[in-house]
Chains A and B, each alone.
Chain A
Amino acid sequence: MKIDKSLPYKNLAGRPGRAIALILLTSLLSLTLFAGTLVIKSLRTGLFSLESRLGADLMIVPEEAYEQSQIENIVLNGSIGEFYMDSEKTAEIAKLAGIQEMSSQFFLASANSGCCSVPVQIIGYDPETDFSVSPWIKRSLAKEPQDMDVIIGSSLNAYVGDSLYFYGKECHVAAKLEKTGTNFDTAVFTNSNTIKELMRSAINRNMNKFGDVDPDKVVSCLMVNVDKAHTAQQIRLDINKNIEGVKAVQTRDLIAGVSESLGGAADLIGGLSAAIWILGIGILILSFNLSVNGRIKEFALLRMIGVSRKRLASIIMEETLIIGIVGAVIGSLTGLFVLVQFGTLIENKLGLPFLLPGTWNLVLLAIIAISVTVLSEVLSAAYSTLRISRIDTTYILRGGN
C-alpha cells in the first residue's frame, strides 16, 4: 500500500504542540553539547594563545612587584600597573651563563585613553632585541614601529590611522593586533623610545604615580630565553640567588594557576552538560514512548489499511529525524550566536583567557553537535519504533492496549 510521502510532515503539523515541545527539547540538548564543548575549547585555545604570547622562558621583575603579584595581575588578571627596576640589572644578568637572548620591557598605565575614563596598559618593547611580542606584532605590522607609533590590542575601539593621546602626547595607531583572547587584547604596545617619552610627559605633568624615576635608567621586566645547555629552572635559581632586588619567574609557573582554573572550569562545564544530556535523553525516551502510546490506534489503523511494518517504522523515524535535525540546527545556531555575542562577558566572568576557535573549527564543531544530537534522538526513538512495528493490530482495534 502506497502512503503519501509527506505523511510524517503532516503528522507533525497536525500536532504542533508536541512537535514544538520535542524540537525545543532537542535544541536544548544540541545547545548544551555545542555551547559546552565550544566554551571548553575556547578556554583551551585562550590558554594556548597566552602561552605563545608570553613567548619567553623566564620573566625577571623587581622583587617587590613579584611579592605584590603585580606581574601576575598584569599578565593574567588584566590589571593595570607599573613597576621599575634599575636598568643596570640587565648587564648583571646578561653576564650569567645560559642566557641565550634577553630583552627589556616597560609597563606604564595610561591616565586615560583619550575617550574614556578607563586607563589602558601600555607596554614598551625594544624592537631590536625583542623576541617575545615582535613575532605576533609583525603579523599585523610588517615594518618596525616608528617613534610615537602604537600598536593596539584587538579589543580597543580605535583603528589604524587614528590618533590616541596619552599624557598629552599624540600617538598614531600603526596597527591593530589580531584577537588573542588574553589581557593583551586591551593593551597598547609601543617601542621603548615612545614609552620613555610618555613617562617623561607624565613626570612633567605631575601625573607620575610611579614616582620619581629616570625613564632612561629603568626597565620594568626582562624577558629571557635560556640556551639548550641549561634549563629554565637552573637559570631561575641562579638569578634569584645571585642578583639582588629582582625575582625570576618561569612563565610556565605563571600559567600553571590559569591551567588549573581552566581544568576546574572545564570539569564543571563538562559535568553540567553531561547531567543535562542524561536528563534530556531520559525525557526524550519517555516523550517518544508516551507519544507512541497516545497514537497506538492511529498506527493500528495504518496497519489495517495495508501499511507494512517497515513503512510504519520508517514513518516514525522520519518524524524523529525531522524533529532532530530542526531542533539540533536551532540549538547549535543559538549557541553559536549567544557565545559570539557574549564571549567577552564570559571571559570577564571566568577571569580566564577565552578565544573562540576559527570559522572552520566552529563549523566542524556544529556539524558534530548536530550529528550527535540527531543520532541520540534516533536511538531514543528506536525502542518505541520497534515496539510499534510489532503491534497486534486486531487486539488494539478491539480496544486493548
Chain B
Amino acid sequence: MKEKIKNIFIGDVVVLAFSLVLLLGTKFVFHACGPKEDGTFMRCHTAETAVLIVAAISVLVAVVQFFVNDRKIKAFLSETGVVLACVAAAIPGRIFSLCMMEDMYCQAVMKPAVTVVSVLLILGGVVNAVLNIRSSRVEYSDEDRQKSAI
C-alpha cells in the first residue's frame, strides 16, 4: 500500500511538472510569433492565449490534487487534467488557426512543442488516473471488509 501511495505522489509531481512546462514554456519558450511592425498581433496570438488559459487551469487542477486525499476525487481530477491536455493539444492549428507559413515560429515551434508536452501530460494523467482508481478500489474493499467484520 505504501508503495502505491508513493507512486501516486510521484504521479502528482509529474503531472504538475508537465503542466508547469506547458504554462511557462508557452509563455517564454515556445510562444506565438512576435508582434507586427505596427504593434498588432498576428492570428496565432489568440492560440497562445488559449493555450496559456488551459495550461493555467491544468496547473491549478494539478496543485489541488496534492491536497485531496480521497482517491476517487484524485482520479476524477487526473481525468480532468487529461481532457484539458487534449484541448491544449488541439488549440494550435486545429481549434485556432495559426500564421500563414509553416516555417513561422508559431507553426514550426509552438504547435509541435505544445503537442509534445500535451501528449506527455495526457500519458502522465492517464497513468495517474489508473493508479488512483486502483488504489481507491483497494481502499474501499478494505473499508467493506472492516464494516462486515464489525
Q: How far is the CA of A30 from the CA of B53 in the complex (A)?
A: 37
Chain B interface SS verdict (over half): loop
Known: A117-B37, A341-B112, A345-B108. A155 touches B101 (CB 8 A): yes
Within the complex, what minimum Cβ distance (angstroms) separates B7 from chain A?
A: 10
Q: How far is the CA of A294 from the CA of B139 in the complex (A)?
A: 35
Is B97 engaged at the interface, CB distance under 8 Å to the other chain? Answer: yes
A108-126 CB mask vs B (1 if < 8 Å, else 0) is 0000011111101000000
Known: A344-B107, A345-B112. A113 touches B100 (CB 8 A): yes
Q: Which residues of A contact B119 (CB under 8 A)?
A: 337
Interface residues in A77-129 by Cβ distance below 8 A to B read: 78, 113-118, 120
- Is the CB–CB distance between A116 and B42 below 8 Å? yes
Interface residues in A330-353 by Cβ distance below 8 A to B read: 337-338, 341-342, 344-345, 347-348
A116, A120, A345, A347: residue with the most chain B Cβ atoms closer than 10 Å? A116
Q: Which residues of A contact B97 (CB under 8 A)?
A: 157
Is A51 engaged at the interface, CB distance under 8 Å to the other chain? Answer: no
Is B104 engaged at the interface, CB distance under 8 Å to the other chain? Answer: yes
- Is the CB–CB distance between B42 and A117 below 8 Å? yes
Interface residues in B64-114 by Cβ distance below 8 A to A read: 97-104, 107-109, 111-112
- Is the CB–CB distance between B100 and A338 below 8 Å? no
B115-150 CB mask vs A (1 if < 8 Å, else 0) is 110010000000000000000000000000000000
Q: Which residues of B contact A154 (CB under 8 A)?
A: 102
- Is the CB–CB distance between A157 and B103 below 8 Å? no
| Smallest CB gap from B98: residue in A | A157
Known: A338-B116, A341-B116. A118 touches B101 (CB 8 A): yes
- Number of chain B residues close to chain A: CB under 8 A: 21
Q: How far is the CA of A344 from the CA of B113 in the complex (A)?
A: 12
Within 8 Å by CB of B101, from A120, A337, A341, A342, lies: A120
Is A186 engaged at the interface, CB distance under 8 Å to the other chain? Answer: yes
Q: How far is the CA of A345 from the CA of B107 in the complex (A)?
A: 9
- Number of chain A residues close to chain B: CB under 8 A: 23
Q: Which residues of A contact B109 (CB under 8 A)?
A: 345
Q: Which residues of A contact B98 (CB under 8 A)?
A: 157
Known: A157-B107, A337-B119, A344-B107. A118 touches B112 (CB 8 A): no
Is A197 engaged at the interface, CB distance under 8 Å to the other chain? Answer: no
Q: Which residues of B contact A156 (CB under 8 A)?
A: 100-102
Within 8 Å by CB of A116, from B102, B104, B111, lies: B104
Q: How far is the CA of A187 from the CA of B25 in the complex (A)?
A: 31
Interface residues in B23-59 by Cβ distance below 8 A to A read: 33, 36-37, 42-43
Within 8 Å by CB of B100, from A118, A185, A348, lies: A118
Within 8 Å by CB of B115, from A115, A158, A341, A344, lies: A341
Within the complex, what minimum Cβ distance (angstroms) separates A35 from chain B?
A: 14
Q: How far is the CA of A337 from the CA of B104 in the complex (A)?
A: 20
Q: Which residues of A contact B99 (CB under 8 A)?
A: 115-116, 118, 157
- Is the CB–CB distance between B116 and A185 below 8 Å? no
Q: How far is the CA of A113 from the CA of B43 in the complex (A)?
A: 13
Q: Which residues of A contact B42 (CB under 8 A)?
A: 115-117
Q: Which residues of B contact A342 (CB under 8 A)?
A: 108, 112
Within 8 Å by CB of B43, from A78, A115, A158, lies: A115
Within 8 Å by CB of B108, from A118, A338, A348, lies: A348
Q: Which residues of A contact B100 (CB under 8 A)?
A: 113-116, 118, 120, 156-158
- Is the CB–CB distance between B103 and A155 below 8 Å? yes
Within the complex, what minimum Cβ distance (angstroms) separates A351 from chain B?
A: 11
Q: Which residues of B contact A120 (CB under 8 A)?
A: 100-101
Q: Which residues of B contact A338 (CB under 8 A)?
A: 116
Give me the 10 closest cross-chain CB pairs, A-B, nearest first. A155-B102, A341-B112, A117-B36, A344-B108, A116-B100, A345-B108, A116-B99, A186-B101, A113-B100, A342-B112
Known: A115-B42, A157-B101. 13 other contacts (CB 8 A): A115-B100, A116-B36, A116-B43, A116-B100, A117-B42, A118-B104, A338-B116, A341-B112, A342-B108, A344-B103, A344-B112, A348-B103, A348-B108
B residues touching A (Cβ–Cβ < 8 Å)? 33, 36-37, 42-43, 97-104, 107-109, 111-112, 115-116, 119
